[in-house]
Structure 1
Amino acid sequence: MARMTGGEALVAALAAHGVDTIFGIPGTHNLTVYAVMERHGIRHVSPRHEQGAGYAADGYARSSGRPGVCLTTTGPAILNAAAAAAQGYSDSVPILFVSPGMPLRHPGRGNGLLHEVKDQSGAMAAILGQSHRVTSVGEIPLAVAQAWTDLTSGRPRPVHLEIPLDLLEEQAEVTMADPVPAATRTPAAESVTAGAAACAAAQRPVLIVGGGAARAGGEAVSLAEAVGAPIVSTANGKGIIPEDHPLFVGAGLQHQCVLDLMTDSDLVIAVGTEFAPSDWWIGLPDLSGKVLRVDVDPAAIITNVVPAVSLVGDAAITLRALRARLDLSTPADGAQRAAQWRDRHQASARAEGAPWLQIVSAIAAALPRDAIVASDSAMACYYGALSNLPLYRPGAFLYPTGGGTLGFGLPAGIGAKIAHPDTAVIVLQGDGGTMFTVAELASAAELGIALPVIVVDNGGYGEIRNEMADRNEPVHAVALGRPDFPALARSLGCRGVRVDEAAELTGEIKVALEADRPTLIHVREESRAARGMT
């Protein structure tokens, strides 16, 4: 036991769980936490807004597989981070959000204390499903350990920990709680038997990988090769299977050819995916009676599509067990079938992404194989990069799929670069989303990181402009003018350049990847939306 403040108990507990970085902003109520970070070997990164801190912790977690930590002060600060918490929840990202709360004996109806919120913990619980408010200094290490088990076992979703501000200052005898080994879920033997029988009987299988397969790429490839299954990935599954693998068809499920592939297949093996409408933009085909589903979350395994065979378990463990039960004398050859569907997927992707193909091709030419792309909810990302930019590693495509938030790309890219300082990380986003978190350029400049930030400009909220026009309604409130983005970047301590031709991007990205600071690269797109804005 050691005597320490609640603030130090928090930091010591985080350090004991391997935390090396915290993203956050100091405030009056959390200063005791900041006072001891350096003592415990934890680095602090200071975004310029709490929403940016949450997205940075998200990018750190998605790209590394380790939980990210976001620390705010009370009231408006944690509420600023709530959008990032919701985004992380929708995409199953392990992020610990920590904030002070009102004192233990604060009046229930409030008294106007600084940063007072009627029910701060309740607000976060409404978003995340849980928010733990501790009631003693001694409970803090236990609360951190419990939160860590939630973040690292089962379906990884954000957790909020609230520590009353008076407890952060109070001293008490504290016992650290050792990290609890992460629980792994092993599928039931009878489910594995049923799954193996379905795989053995299939003549035209297909495999879908989602974000839940992020640490099971090798196992997914092994199973696909054994049964001859072409592979498609969701947005959050992009990069889990190297996109030059002969069985890989493509990333992005929003194409008619993917629905046709599902219809053509007699077994759909779905690993770690919700069959969510945010992936299947044009709707789901009829999959009745032919889905074998692998998911660690027993509730999610029947969401949107009820499977014929359910395997509840960790993706890697389950796929290994399934592969071991398959008695196949010779590996099946699905490469020819995959090639046919890949041609169709690429044709559809190129047609959908035509206005951004030159930009995407220029980016691809500049990136090393292990690159990470932090993208925003922008047309250049979901029409352009998702299905047309090849990536080759898990956690390579950071994209706000479920929440669809704007402003995610830049801070997520900062988080990814902190987690992978020796890896090429780029940001790809639109002009509208850039303005949501543009202040984080100052944070990136302060860090001195080589981070190319590509801003694809169509003059405003292009997707919404097109939707207004398609509804034959007045088009207004979507044009955002033409900010001088390179000058803005330079004013915040970054490099700023403008390219007139997409082909110039390749060289500028390569220069930016070697620079001593972030580089904003501004390029204007030629698209229906851009013409409409003009």
Structure 2
Amino acid sequence: MTHTGGELLAAQLVAEGVEKVFGVPGIQLDYAVDGLAQHADQIDFVVARHEQGAAYMADGYARVSDKPGVCLVVPGPGLLNAGAALSTAYATSSRVVMIVGQIPSPTIDAGLGMLHEIPEQSRLIASLTKWHRLVTDAADIPAAVNEAFRQVQSGRPRPVAIEVPPDVLKTVATAPILPAAVGEPLAPDAGQIADLAAQLSAAERPVIYVGGGIRDIPAATALQAVAEALGAPIVMSRNGRGAVSDRHPLALTRLAGGPALDAADFVLAVGTRFMTQQGRPVVHPGRHRIAAINAEAADLAAPRSFGLALHADARLALEALLPQLAPRTAAAAEGTPDPAELRERADRLLDEVAPQRDWLLAIRAGLPDDGVFVDELTQVGYPSRIAYPVYTPGSYVTPGYQGTLGYGFPTALGVQAADPDRPVVSINGDGGFGWALQELSTAAKYRLGLVTIVFENGVFGNVERIQQETFGRTVGVDLHNPDYTLLGEAFGVAVRTVRTPDELTAVIRDHAGVREPLLVVVPVTDFPTPWDLIAEPSYGDANGRGQA
């Protein structure tokens, strides 16, 4: 039996277990969308109001789901609109499958001015993905989709993409639908595991530094077991928050964990780029011995310098490591910082950002342990990296080093779509919220019960502070905001205004289980600067001291 390329595409997505596709329809995708329509009982086509929103939703869906997030966009401007979200997914190792339209096959890269044509689209896509394929034969579509899902679930998770021209989607062909792809995690080398176990067992003051490579319960369980066997504090990077619960006695934020890293004689870096925001290794060798486990070979290379580098899946490596660790019965070595004292020290330092911390703790109090907090580039969001308690893997969502302003609200919609009954909170400044406020329409249409908080002060707050401190004047920082109550009413979204942290906690709690969106407006004034607290020192320079 023959099918159009669009029908083959949809059928293979069903075979891969896809339940939601986020996107925006367009003429180059007509046959793909018709294919989805034929499987409407198996796949929900969630239509956003902008391709950027659709791609962010796919990213959010992937962050908290055990499935990749799938996005469908037209070529040219559609792809460019989605580019910011794709770059965020790339930076945060998110499993996104991007399906991109193309111009008609005979005209690709011919410069004829076809609708939505941009030069070298394939090259652009390749720069934002770890694997990419342009499909030129309808019969090849199932195999291309299957390989995309194998790639996105193997090695380091990062976005993948396939391009399909409209003539290929329209062409009738015969091709088998393939069984769902199975990921291929990188197994560790047994000899390296034995070597690492011996070095860790001999260490007196081991510390584990963890990043976004630990984001599910099996990997987190293995990490916690290794740390407990070693008695090693776990310092979590921004992307690593939730790798272990902040209630665990060995858990430390980056702020709390600095002295532990500085005092360590052995640092094990797990699933992390191991770089500061200033582009320096978190810890330098010398008085520190350093080893790393990472599924990305590039993150084991210079400018880092590891005595032992395991190119492997973090969970598999930790599970293999655990039974080979020698039991530790001796008391902590002299000079080993007490994690409890380090947390107390960090709490005192956080008094500097008490107003932001009060709002963050109010949100935490309103959410269950597994409720999801979606960070943003906002005055309340910056301190959340060190001040918001995280209790479960995958429940703290961040744009990582990409720092994409405005990513938070649409990404949170994808998080909510992945699990409609799980409480999710999106925090926003009034500046960043403007990037995607039209997606209130999407939230209302699909009854996504997201609580979206907008901290409103009428300016790009961080930009204003930098300009004032650097130049003594400001320009371009003032905002003309909508009346949020009227905005919500226009989209059919309930709006609440709150003025105290206690009120915010109550609003979040009361909304639990409600499958309708809620917009919460919080009028605020200037906040104290958090930058000294969230700075990331690089430890162990040539002089043996940590460097701010």
Question: What range describes the TM-score normalised by the shorter chain of this pair?
Answer: over 0.9
- Write the mapping of 1:196-345 to structure 2, written as runs, cut at 5 A: 196-215=197-216, 216-250=219-253, 253=254, 255=255, 258-278=257-277, 284-288=282-286, 289-328=288-327, 330=329, 337-345=338-346
Distance 1:244 1:281, change over 3 A: farther
Shift of 1:259: 3.2
- Write the mapping of 1:469-508 to structure 2, written as runs, cut at 5 A: 469-508=468-507
Contact 2:17 2:180 (8 Å CA) reproduced: no
The Cα offsets for residues 144-191 of structure 1, whole Å up to 9 and x where unpaired, read as 111111100000111121001101111011122323432121211221
Q: Which runs of 4+ in 1 moved over 6 A?
A: 280-283, 331-336
Distance 1:108 1:410, change over 3 A: closer
1:25 counterpart = 2:33: no
Contact 2:16 2:181 (8 Å CA) reproduced: no
Any stretches of 5+ residues in structure 2 without a counterpart? 530-548
Any stretches of 5+ residues in structure 1 without a counterpart? none
What residue in structure 2 maps to residue 185 of structure 1? 186
What residue in structure 2 maps to residue 69 of structure 1? 70
Give, in whole Å, the separation in 1 of the partners of 2:470 and 2:195.
Answer: 48
Give, in whole Å, the separation in 1 of the partners of 2:489 and 2:243.
Answer: 36
Contact 1:262 1:287 (8 Å CA) reproduced: no
Distance 1:104 1:212, change over 3 A: same
What residue in structure 2 maps to residue 355 of structure 1? 355
Contact 2:209 2:270 (8 Å CA) reproduced: yes
What residue in structure 1 maps to residue 12 of structure 2? 13
- Write the mapping of 1:369-518 to structure 2, written as runs, cut at 5 A: 369-383=369-383, 385-518=384-517
Shift of 1:294: 0.8
The Cα offsets for residues 415-454 of structure 1, whole Å up to 9 and x where unpaired, read as 1111112211111111111000111111001111221101
Q: 3-state DSSP class of the match of 1:187?
A: coil
Shift of 1:493: 1.4
Distance 1:245 1:49, change over 3 A: same
Distance 1:331 1:392, change over 3 A: farther
Give, in whole Å, the separation in 1 of the partners of 2:164 and 2:520.
Answer: 42
Contact 2:125 2:132 (8 Å CA) reproduced: yes
Contact 2:260 2:337 (8 Å CA) reproduced: no
Distance 1:172 1:147, change over 3 A: same
The Cα offsets for residues 202-259 of structure 1, whole Å up to 9 and x where unpaired, read as 1111112211111310011001000111112112211121111111122xx3x3x533
Distance 1:113 1:282, change over 3 A: closer
Q: 3-state DSSP class of the match of 1:99?
A: strand
Shift of 1:193: 1.7
Contact 1:21 1:45 (8 Å CA) reproduced: yes
Give, in whole Å, the separation in 2 of the partners of 1:124 and 1:224.
Answer: 39
Contact 2:72 2:98 (8 Å CA) reproduced: yes
- Write the mapping of 1:66-105 to structure 2, written as runs, cut at 5 A: 66-105=67-106
Contact 1:356 1:525 (8 Å CA) reproduced: no
Give, in whole Å, the separation in 2 of the partners of 1:523 and 1:441.
Answer: 17
Distance 1:392 1:304, change over 3 A: farther
Q: 3-state DSSP class of the match of 1:386?
A: helix
Contact 1:227 1:331 (8 Å CA) reproduced: no
Contact 1:228 1:332 (8 Å CA) reproduced: no
| TM-score, normalization by structure 2 | 0.91
Q: Which moved more, 1:9-18 or 1:334-343?
A: 334-343
The Cα offsets for residues 260-317 of structure 1, whole Å up to 9 and x where unpaired, read as 3211111111110002334x79984534442121111122122542111212211111
Give, in whole Å, the separation in 1 of the partners of 2:128 and 2:279.
Answer: 24
Contact 1:205 1:266 (8 Å CA) reproduced: yes
Shift of 1:108: 4.1
What residue in structure 2 maps to residue 155 of structure 1? 156
Give, in whole Å, the separation in 2 of the partners of 1:248 and 1:149.
Answer: 34
Q: 3-state DSSP class of the match of 1:160?
A: strand
Give, in whole Å, the separation in 2 of the partners of 1:260 and 1:338.
Answer: 10
Shift of 1:129: 5.2
Shift of 1:331: 8.9
RMSD: 2.1
What residue in structure 2 maps to residue 171 of structure 1? 172
Q: Which moved more, 1:93-102 or 1:295-304?
A: 295-304
Shift of 1:111: 2.4
Give, in whole Å, the separation in 2 of the partners of 1:267 and 1:328.
Answer: 17
Give, in whole Å, the separation in 2 of the partners of 1:56 and 1:419.
Answer: 9
Shift of 1:49: 0.6
Give, in whole Å, the separation in 2 of the partners of 1:243 and 1:465.
Answer: 33
Shift of 1:67: 0.8
Q: Which moved more, 1:287-296 or 1:489-498?
A: 287-296
Give, in whole Å, the separation in 1 of the partners of 2:331 and 2:10.
Answer: 52
Distance 1:7 1:443, change over 3 A: same
Contact 1:249 1:345 (8 Å CA) reproduced: no
Q: 3-state DSSP class of the match of 1:305?
A: coil
Contact 1:124 1:130 (8 Å CA) reproduced: no
Q: 3-state DSSP class of the match of 2:2?
A: strand
